[in-house]
Amino acid sequence: MKYHIWTEGCQMNNADSLRVSAALEDLGYQACRQAEDADVIVLNTCMVRQSAEDKAVGRLTSLKSLKQRNPELIINLMGCMVGVRGYDDLQQRFPYVDVFSQPSDPFPLIERLTGSARSVENDRRHYIENILDDEYGYTLPQSNQGQQISAFLPIVFGCSHACSYCIIPLKRGREISRPPEEVLADARSLVHKGVKEITLLGQIVDRYGLDQPGYPSLAQLLRDLQEIEGLERIRFLTSHPNYMTDELLDTVAELPKVMPHFELPIQAGDDQVLDNMRRGYTAAQYLSVVDKIHQRFRQTSTPVSIAIDLIVGFPGESAEQFERSVDILNTMHPDMTHVARYSPREGTLSTRTMPDDVSDEEKWRRFRVIEELQKRITTEINQTYLGKRTPVLFESKAKDRWRGRTTTNKLVFVESDENLLGQVREVTVNWTGPWSMIGVV
Protein backbone atom coordinates (compact mmCIF):
# COMPACT_ATOMS: atom_id res chain seq x y z
CA MET A 1 0.00 0.00 0.00
CA LYS A 2 1.32 3.43 -0.98
CA TYR A 3 0.53 7.04 -0.16
CA HIS A 4 1.32 10.38 -1.76
CA ILE A 5 1.13 13.78 0.00
CA TRP A 6 1.06 17.16 -1.72
CA THR A 7 1.68 20.10 0.61
CA GLU A 8 1.19 23.79 -0.09
CA GLY A 9 1.71 26.74 2.22
CA CYS A 10 3.25 27.41 5.59
CA GLN A 11 5.50 25.58 8.03
CA MET A 12 2.41 24.48 9.96
CA ASN A 13 1.19 22.59 6.90
CA ASN A 14 4.59 20.97 6.50
CA ALA A 15 4.44 19.81 10.11
CA ASP A 16 0.88 18.53 9.63
CA SER A 17 1.90 16.57 6.53
CA LEU A 18 4.75 14.89 8.38
CA ARG A 19 2.33 13.86 11.09
CA VAL A 20 -0.03 12.37 8.50
CA SER A 21 2.91 10.57 6.87
CA ALA A 22 3.95 9.10 10.19
CA ALA A 23 0.41 7.95 10.94
CA LEU A 24 0.08 6.32 7.51
CA GLU A 25 3.41 4.55 7.84
CA ASP A 26 2.30 3.32 11.25
CA LEU A 27 -0.56 1.61 9.36
CA GLY A 28 1.84 -0.01 6.88
CA TYR A 29 1.71 2.47 3.99
CA GLN A 30 4.83 3.53 2.07
CA ALA A 31 5.45 6.93 0.49
CA CYS A 32 5.60 7.26 -3.31
CA ARG A 33 6.61 10.18 -5.52
CA GLN A 34 3.85 9.90 -8.11
CA ALA A 35 0.18 10.36 -7.27
CA GLU A 36 -0.66 7.86 -10.01
CA ASP A 37 1.03 5.08 -7.99
CA ALA A 38 -0.74 5.81 -4.69
CA ASP A 39 -3.58 4.07 -2.88
CA VAL A 40 -4.06 7.15 -0.68
CA ILE A 41 -3.56 10.75 -1.82
CA VAL A 42 -3.52 13.64 0.65
CA LEU A 43 -3.74 17.27 -0.48
CA ASN A 44 -2.75 19.60 2.36
CA THR A 45 -3.92 23.01 1.21
CA CYS A 46 -3.30 26.71 1.84
CA MET A 47 -5.61 29.70 1.32
CA VAL A 48 -3.51 32.62 2.54
CA ARG A 49 -3.38 33.98 -1.02
CA GLN A 50 -5.61 33.43 -4.02
CA SER A 51 -2.75 31.86 -5.96
CA ALA A 52 -2.39 29.13 -3.33
CA GLU A 53 -6.12 28.37 -3.43
CA ASP A 54 -6.10 28.28 -7.26
CA LYS A 55 -3.17 25.87 -7.19
CA ALA A 56 -5.00 23.57 -4.77
CA VAL A 57 -8.18 23.59 -6.87
CA GLY A 58 -6.18 22.80 -10.00
CA ARG A 59 -4.39 19.91 -8.30
CA LEU A 60 -7.63 18.56 -6.85
CA THR A 61 -9.40 18.76 -10.21
CA SER A 62 -6.58 16.81 -11.87
CA LEU A 63 -7.20 13.89 -9.49
CA LYS A 64 -10.75 13.32 -10.75
CA SER A 65 -9.58 11.16 -13.64
CA LEU A 66 -7.42 9.06 -11.28
CA LYS A 67 -10.45 8.41 -9.11
CA GLN A 68 -12.52 7.43 -12.15
CA ARG A 69 -9.89 4.93 -13.25
CA ASN A 70 -9.42 3.59 -9.72
CA PRO A 71 -12.57 3.85 -7.56
CA GLU A 72 -10.67 2.26 -4.64
CA LEU A 73 -8.32 5.25 -4.48
CA ILE A 74 -8.76 7.29 -1.26
CA ILE A 75 -8.49 11.05 -1.73
CA ASN A 76 -8.11 13.19 1.39
CA LEU A 77 -8.50 16.97 1.25
CA MET A 78 -6.90 18.66 4.25
CA GLY A 79 -5.88 22.06 5.55
CA CYS A 80 -7.17 25.60 5.22
CA MET A 81 -9.29 24.84 2.17
CA VAL A 82 -11.40 22.61 4.43
CA GLY A 83 -11.17 24.89 7.45
CA VAL A 84 -13.04 24.50 10.74
CA ARG A 85 -16.50 25.79 9.79
CA GLY A 86 -17.87 22.96 7.67
CA TYR A 87 -17.27 21.82 4.12
CA ASP A 88 -20.67 21.08 2.55
CA ASP A 89 -19.83 23.28 -0.44
CA LEU A 90 -16.60 21.35 -1.03
CA GLN A 91 -18.44 18.04 -0.93
CA GLN A 92 -20.76 19.31 -3.66
CA ARG A 93 -17.90 20.70 -5.80
CA PHE A 94 -15.66 17.66 -5.38
CA PRO A 95 -17.85 14.58 -4.79
CA TYR A 96 -14.93 12.27 -5.60
CA VAL A 97 -13.08 13.33 -2.44
CA ASP A 98 -13.45 10.63 0.22
CA VAL A 99 -12.20 12.37 3.37
CA PHE A 100 -12.19 16.02 4.48
CA SER A 101 -9.78 16.89 7.30
CA GLN A 102 -9.54 20.10 9.24
CA PRO A 103 -6.08 21.69 9.59
CA SER A 104 -3.72 19.75 11.87
CA ASP A 105 -6.13 16.80 12.18
CA PRO A 106 -4.99 13.47 10.67
CA PHE A 107 -7.62 11.42 12.49
CA PRO A 108 -10.50 11.52 9.92
CA LEU A 109 -8.22 9.84 7.38
CA ILE A 110 -6.96 7.28 9.89
CA GLU A 111 -10.54 6.50 10.92
CA ARG A 112 -11.51 6.00 7.28
CA LEU A 113 -8.60 3.63 6.67
CA THR A 114 -9.00 1.65 9.91
CA GLY A 115 -12.78 1.70 10.09
CA SER A 116 -12.68 2.80 13.71
CA ALA A 117 -13.68 6.11 15.20
CA ARG A 118 -12.17 7.36 18.44
CA SER A 119 -13.14 10.32 20.55
CA VAL A 120 -10.83 13.30 20.67
CA GLU A 121 -10.00 12.58 24.30
CA ASN A 122 -9.16 8.95 23.56
CA ASP A 123 -7.02 10.06 20.63
CA ARG A 124 -5.10 12.45 22.87
CA ARG A 125 -4.62 9.85 25.59
CA HIS A 126 -3.47 7.23 23.08
CA TYR A 127 -1.18 9.76 21.43
CA ILE A 128 0.46 10.89 24.68
CA GLU A 129 0.93 7.41 26.12
CA ASN A 130 2.68 6.16 22.99
CA ILE A 131 4.75 9.25 22.28
CA LEU A 132 6.04 9.29 25.84
CA ASP A 133 7.59 5.84 25.47
CA ASP A 134 8.90 6.58 21.96
CA GLU A 135 7.04 3.70 20.34
CA TYR A 136 4.46 5.56 18.28
CA GLY A 137 5.41 7.19 15.00
CA TYR A 138 3.18 10.23 14.76
CA THR A 139 5.99 12.77 15.00
CA LEU A 140 8.17 11.63 12.09
CA PRO A 141 7.73 9.10 9.28
CA GLN A 142 10.12 6.15 9.13
CA SER A 143 11.73 7.37 5.91
CA ASN A 144 12.80 10.64 7.61
CA GLN A 145 14.19 9.14 10.80
CA GLY A 146 17.93 9.56 11.10
CA GLN A 147 17.93 11.84 8.05
CA GLN A 148 15.82 14.84 9.08
CA ILE A 149 17.89 17.17 11.23
CA SER A 150 15.48 20.09 11.61
CA ALA A 151 11.75 19.72 12.31
CA PHE A 152 8.75 21.98 12.91
CA LEU A 153 6.75 21.44 16.09
CA PRO A 154 3.33 23.16 16.37
CA ILE A 155 2.57 24.51 19.84
CA VAL A 156 -0.33 26.90 19.09
CA PHE A 157 -3.14 26.06 16.68
CA GLY A 158 -5.35 28.77 15.16
CA CYS A 159 -5.34 32.48 15.93
CA SER A 160 -7.64 34.90 17.76
CA HIS A 161 -5.94 38.16 16.74
CA ALA A 162 -8.01 38.68 13.56
CA CYS A 163 -5.93 41.05 11.44
CA SER A 164 -8.27 42.55 8.86
CA TYR A 165 -6.58 40.85 5.88
CA CYS A 166 -5.96 37.41 7.40
CA ILE A 167 -8.03 34.32 6.69
CA ILE A 168 -6.26 32.12 9.27
CA PRO A 169 -8.76 32.70 12.14
CA LEU A 170 -11.60 31.80 9.76
CA LYS A 171 -9.91 28.66 8.48
CA ARG A 172 -7.90 27.40 11.46
CA GLY A 173 -10.18 28.59 14.24
CA ARG A 174 -9.49 30.31 17.51
CA GLU A 175 -6.15 30.19 19.25
CA ILE A 176 -5.52 26.96 21.18
CA SER A 177 -2.24 26.21 22.95
CA ARG A 178 -1.22 22.56 23.04
CA PRO A 179 -0.70 20.99 26.47
CA PRO A 180 2.94 21.34 27.50
CA GLU A 181 3.27 17.61 28.15
CA GLU A 182 2.30 16.96 24.51
CA VAL A 183 4.86 19.45 23.23
CA LEU A 184 7.65 18.02 25.38
CA ALA A 185 6.68 14.46 24.45
CA ASP A 186 6.78 15.35 20.75
CA ALA A 187 10.15 17.03 21.19
CA ARG A 188 11.66 14.02 22.95
CA SER A 189 10.29 11.72 20.26
CA LEU A 190 11.71 13.87 17.46
CA VAL A 191 15.14 13.91 19.11
CA HIS A 192 14.95 10.14 19.60
CA LYS A 193 14.40 9.85 15.83
CA GLY A 194 17.45 11.92 14.93
CA VAL A 195 16.24 15.52 14.96
CA LYS A 196 18.77 18.04 16.28
CA GLU A 197 16.86 21.30 15.81
CA ILE A 198 13.22 22.04 16.59
CA THR A 199 11.28 25.11 15.49
CA LEU A 200 8.19 25.84 17.57
CA LEU A 201 5.24 27.03 15.50
CA GLY A 202 2.28 29.28 16.19
CA GLN A 203 0.48 31.99 14.27
CA ILE A 204 1.48 34.18 17.23
CA VAL A 205 3.88 31.84 18.96
CA ASP A 206 4.66 34.33 21.78
CA ARG A 207 1.08 33.95 22.98
CA TYR A 208 1.64 30.30 23.90
CA GLY A 209 -0.19 29.48 27.13
CA LEU A 210 -2.08 32.77 27.42
CA ASP A 211 -5.37 31.10 26.44
CA GLN A 212 -5.04 28.31 29.01
CA PRO A 213 -4.83 29.12 32.74
CA GLY A 214 -2.06 27.16 34.38
CA TYR A 215 -0.02 26.64 31.21
CA PRO A 216 3.61 27.83 31.17
CA SER A 217 4.66 30.84 29.11
CA LEU A 218 6.69 30.40 25.94
CA ALA A 219 9.76 31.43 27.95
CA GLN A 220 9.19 28.65 30.49
CA LEU A 221 8.47 26.13 27.72
CA LEU A 222 11.81 27.02 26.15
CA ARG A 223 13.52 26.38 29.50
CA ASP A 224 11.87 22.96 29.72
CA LEU A 225 12.93 22.10 26.15
CA GLN A 226 16.48 23.22 26.95
CA GLU A 227 16.77 20.22 29.29
CA ILE A 228 16.16 17.60 26.57
CA GLU A 229 19.38 15.67 26.02
CA GLY A 230 20.41 15.44 22.37
CA LEU A 231 18.49 18.54 21.29
CA GLU A 232 21.04 20.99 19.87
CA ARG A 233 18.98 23.98 18.78
CA ILE A 234 15.55 25.55 19.37
CA ARG A 235 13.84 28.23 17.29
CA PHE A 236 10.32 29.69 17.30
CA LEU A 237 8.04 31.57 14.91
CA THR A 238 6.05 33.65 14.20
CA SER A 239 6.29 36.39 16.83
CA HIS A 240 4.15 39.50 17.33
CA PRO A 241 5.72 42.73 18.65
CA ASN A 242 2.98 43.19 21.26
CA TYR A 243 3.96 39.95 23.00
CA MET A 244 7.75 40.18 22.82
CA THR A 245 8.24 40.36 26.59
CA ASP A 246 11.41 41.04 28.56
CA GLU A 247 11.08 37.54 30.03
CA LEU A 248 11.15 36.02 26.55
CA LEU A 249 14.12 38.12 25.43
CA ASP A 250 16.06 37.24 28.58
CA THR A 251 15.31 33.56 28.04
CA VAL A 252 16.54 33.59 24.45
CA ALA A 253 19.67 35.46 25.50
CA GLU A 254 20.40 33.14 28.43
CA LEU A 255 19.69 29.68 26.98
CA PRO A 256 22.49 28.30 24.77
CA LYS A 257 20.15 26.05 22.77
CA VAL A 258 17.69 28.82 21.83
CA MET A 259 18.88 30.55 18.67
CA PRO A 260 19.09 34.38 18.55
CA HIS A 261 16.82 34.74 15.52
CA PHE A 262 13.41 36.42 15.52
CA GLU A 263 10.65 36.26 12.93
CA LEU A 264 8.87 39.55 13.71
CA PRO A 265 6.37 40.73 11.06
CA ILE A 266 5.63 44.43 10.71
CA GLN A 267 3.38 44.15 7.58
CA ALA A 268 3.46 47.90 6.82
CA GLY A 269 5.48 51.00 7.69
CA ASP A 270 2.62 53.49 7.78
CA ASP A 271 0.52 53.93 10.92
CA GLN A 272 -2.78 54.40 9.10
CA VAL A 273 -2.22 51.24 7.06
CA LEU A 274 -1.26 49.37 10.23
CA ASP A 275 -4.46 50.58 11.86
CA ASN A 276 -6.50 49.47 8.85
CA MET A 277 -4.77 46.10 9.10
CA ARG A 278 -5.70 45.92 12.81
CA ARG A 279 -2.16 45.06 13.77
CA GLY A 280 -2.35 46.78 17.17
CA TYR A 281 0.84 48.87 17.13
CA THR A 282 2.43 51.86 15.40
CA ALA A 283 5.63 51.83 13.37
CA ALA A 284 7.42 53.61 16.24
CA GLN A 285 6.23 51.01 18.73
CA TYR A 286 7.45 48.23 16.44
CA LEU A 287 10.87 49.85 16.06
CA SER A 288 11.14 50.21 19.84
CA VAL A 289 10.77 46.42 20.14
CA VAL A 290 13.49 45.96 17.52
CA ASP A 291 15.75 48.32 19.45
CA LYS A 292 15.08 46.39 22.66
CA ILE A 293 16.10 43.12 20.94
CA HIS A 294 19.39 44.60 19.71
CA GLN A 295 20.16 46.21 23.06
CA ARG A 296 19.56 42.96 24.94
CA PHE A 297 21.94 40.97 22.74
CA ARG A 298 24.61 43.66 22.64
CA GLN A 299 24.96 43.07 26.39
CA THR A 300 26.27 39.57 25.67
CA SER A 301 28.04 40.41 22.37
CA THR A 302 25.85 37.81 20.67
CA PRO A 303 24.97 38.20 16.97
CA VAL A 304 21.20 38.44 16.51
CA SER A 305 19.04 38.41 13.38
CA ILE A 306 15.53 39.63 12.64
CA ALA A 307 13.35 38.65 9.70
CA ILE A 308 10.15 40.54 8.90
CA ASP A 309 6.95 40.05 6.90
CA LEU A 310 5.66 42.91 4.76
CA ILE A 311 2.51 43.31 2.66
CA VAL A 312 2.51 45.73 -0.27
CA GLY A 313 -0.57 47.09 -2.02
CA PHE A 314 -2.95 46.88 0.93
CA PRO A 315 -6.29 48.63 0.19
CA GLY A 316 -5.85 52.37 0.26
CA GLU A 317 -2.04 52.24 0.55
CA SER A 318 -0.78 55.34 -1.28
CA ALA A 319 2.63 55.72 -2.87
CA GLU A 320 3.66 57.91 0.07
CA GLN A 321 2.48 55.31 2.60
CA PHE A 322 4.41 52.61 0.75
CA GLU A 323 7.56 54.73 1.01
CA ARG A 324 7.23 54.51 4.79
CA SER A 325 7.62 50.73 4.45
CA VAL A 326 10.78 51.40 2.45
CA ASP A 327 11.93 53.70 5.27
CA ILE A 328 11.40 50.89 7.79
CA LEU A 329 13.80 48.63 5.91
CA ASN A 330 16.38 51.41 5.64
CA THR A 331 16.02 52.15 9.36
CA MET A 332 16.11 48.66 10.88
CA HIS A 333 18.08 46.68 8.26
CA PRO A 334 16.27 43.35 8.66
CA ASP A 335 18.18 40.20 7.80
CA MET A 336 15.29 39.04 5.62
CA THR A 337 11.97 40.39 4.38
CA HIS A 338 9.21 38.00 3.37
CA VAL A 339 7.24 40.30 1.09
CA ALA A 340 3.76 39.54 -0.27
CA ARG A 341 1.35 41.36 -2.54
CA TYR A 342 -2.03 41.95 -0.91
CA SER A 343 -4.58 39.32 -1.93
CA PRO A 344 -8.28 39.70 -1.02
CA ARG A 345 -9.62 36.68 0.88
CA GLU A 346 -13.33 36.03 1.09
CA GLY A 347 -14.75 36.63 4.56
CA THR A 348 -11.98 38.88 5.87
CA LEU A 349 -12.73 42.38 7.11
CA SER A 350 -10.56 44.07 4.48
CA THR A 351 -12.33 42.23 1.64
CA ARG A 352 -15.77 43.09 3.04
CA THR A 353 -15.12 46.76 3.76
CA MET A 354 -12.10 47.99 1.75
CA PRO A 355 -11.86 48.17 -2.05
CA ASP A 356 -8.80 46.47 -3.53
CA ASP A 357 -7.76 49.73 -5.20
CA VAL A 358 -4.03 49.24 -5.79
CA SER A 359 -3.46 47.86 -9.29
CA ASP A 360 -1.72 44.54 -9.80
CA GLU A 361 0.97 46.33 -11.81
CA GLU A 362 1.66 48.71 -8.91
CA LYS A 363 1.70 45.84 -6.41
CA TRP A 364 4.34 44.11 -8.48
CA ARG A 365 6.38 47.34 -8.72
CA ARG A 366 6.34 47.76 -4.95
CA PHE A 367 7.16 44.08 -4.49
CA ARG A 368 10.26 44.43 -6.67
CA VAL A 369 11.36 47.61 -4.87
CA ILE A 370 11.31 45.78 -1.52
CA GLU A 371 13.01 42.71 -2.96
CA GLU A 372 15.85 44.73 -4.45
CA LEU A 373 16.33 46.79 -1.30
CA GLN A 374 16.37 43.70 0.90
CA LYS A 375 18.90 42.07 -1.40
CA ARG A 376 21.27 45.02 -0.88
CA ILE A 377 20.71 45.01 2.88
CA THR A 378 21.26 41.24 3.24
CA THR A 379 24.38 41.42 1.08
CA GLU A 380 25.85 44.04 3.44
CA ILE A 381 24.92 42.06 6.56
CA ASN A 382 26.36 38.81 5.22
CA GLN A 383 29.64 40.51 4.31
CA THR A 384 30.24 41.06 8.04
CA TYR A 385 30.73 37.28 8.32
CA LEU A 386 33.68 37.21 5.88
CA GLY A 387 36.78 35.68 7.42
CA LYS A 388 34.99 34.93 10.68
CA ARG A 389 34.26 31.59 12.34
CA THR A 390 30.64 30.70 13.11
CA PRO A 391 28.96 27.50 14.32
CA VAL A 392 26.85 25.77 11.66
CA LEU A 393 24.38 22.89 12.07
CA PHE A 394 24.48 20.78 8.90
CA GLU A 395 21.10 19.55 7.66
CA SER A 396 21.71 17.87 4.30
CA LYS A 397 24.04 17.33 1.35
CA ALA A 398 23.30 18.32 -2.24
CA LYS A 399 25.59 18.44 -5.30
CA ASP A 400 28.64 17.46 -3.22
CA ARG A 401 28.14 20.36 -0.81
CA TRP A 402 26.93 20.21 2.77
CA ARG A 403 24.14 22.62 3.64
CA GLY A 404 23.63 24.11 7.09
CA ARG A 405 22.60 27.20 9.05
CA THR A 406 24.25 29.55 11.50
CA THR A 407 22.73 30.47 14.84
CA THR A 408 21.29 33.55 13.10
CA ASN A 409 19.65 31.39 10.41
CA LYS A 410 22.12 32.19 7.62
CA LEU A 411 22.45 29.49 4.96
CA VAL A 412 26.00 28.14 4.62
CA PHE A 413 27.51 25.65 2.15
CA VAL A 414 30.80 23.79 2.56
CA GLU A 415 32.65 21.09 0.65
CA SER A 416 33.89 18.24 2.84
CA ASP A 417 34.54 14.51 2.58
CA GLU A 418 33.38 14.12 6.18
CA ASN A 419 29.84 13.08 7.04
CA LEU A 420 28.60 16.32 8.59
CA LEU A 421 24.93 15.40 8.84
CA GLY A 422 23.54 16.56 12.18
CA GLN A 423 26.85 17.98 13.37
CA VAL A 424 27.47 21.49 14.68
CA ARG A 425 30.88 22.56 13.39
CA GLU A 426 32.85 25.78 13.32
CA VAL A 427 33.03 27.16 9.79
CA THR A 428 35.25 29.95 8.48
CA VAL A 429 33.29 31.97 5.94
CA ASN A 430 35.25 32.82 2.77
CA TRP A 431 32.45 33.94 0.41
CA THR A 432 29.16 35.73 0.96
CA GLY A 433 26.20 36.52 -1.25
CA PRO A 434 22.74 37.91 -0.57
CA TRP A 435 21.07 34.59 0.18
CA SER A 436 23.88 32.22 1.24
CA MET A 437 27.50 31.93 2.26
CA ILE A 438 30.33 29.48 1.56
CA GLY A 439 32.94 28.41 4.07
CA VAL A 440 35.48 25.86 5.23
CA VAL A 441 35.05 23.52 8.19
Mean pLDDT confidence for 137-154: 84
pLDDT digits (tens, 9 = 90+) for 318-335: 999 999 999 999 999 999
* The length of the chain, given as a count of residues: 441
CB 205 within 8 A of CB 245: no
Hey, what domains does the chain have and what are their CATH numbers?
Answer: 1-117 (3.40.50.12160), 389-440 (2.40.50.140)
pLDDT at 127: 47
pLDDT at 146: 85
Mean pLDDT confidence for 277-294: 98
Long-range contacts of 109-113 (CB under 8 A, 24+ apart): 109/20, 109/23, 109/24, 109/40, 109/42, 109/74, 109/76, 109/78, 110/23, 110/27, 112/74, 112/76, 113/24, 113/27, 113/40, 113/74
CB 74 within 8 A of CB 57: no
DSSP string, 155-190: -EES-S---TT--HHHHH-S-EEPPHHHHHHHHHHH
pLDDT digits (tens, 9 = 90+) for 428-438: 999 999 999 99
- pLDDT above 60 (res 97): yes
Confidence band of 116 (pLDDT split at 50, 70, 90):
low
Number of CB atoms found within 10 A of residue 308's CB? 23
Rounded to whole angstroms, the Cα distance separating 404 from 413 reads: 6
pLDDT at 183: 94
Check the CA dihedral 351-353-357-363 and report its sign.
negative
Which residues, at least 6 apart from 227, have a Cβ–Cβ distance to it below 8 Å?
none
Confidence band of 238 (pLDDT split at 50, 70, 90):
very high
For 207-260, where are the E strands, in sequence order? 233-237
DSSP three-state, residue 295: helix
CB 24 within 8 A of CB 58: no
- pLDDT above 50 (res 120): no
pLDDT digits (tens, 9 = 90+) for 105-114: 888 999 899 8
pLDDT at 159: 94
DSSP string, 338-406: EEEE----TTSHHHHHS---S-HHHHHHHHHHHHHHHHHHHHHHHHTTTT-EEEEEEEEEETTEEEEEE
Mean pLDDT confidence for 148-158: 95
Mean pLDDT confidence for 324-352: 97
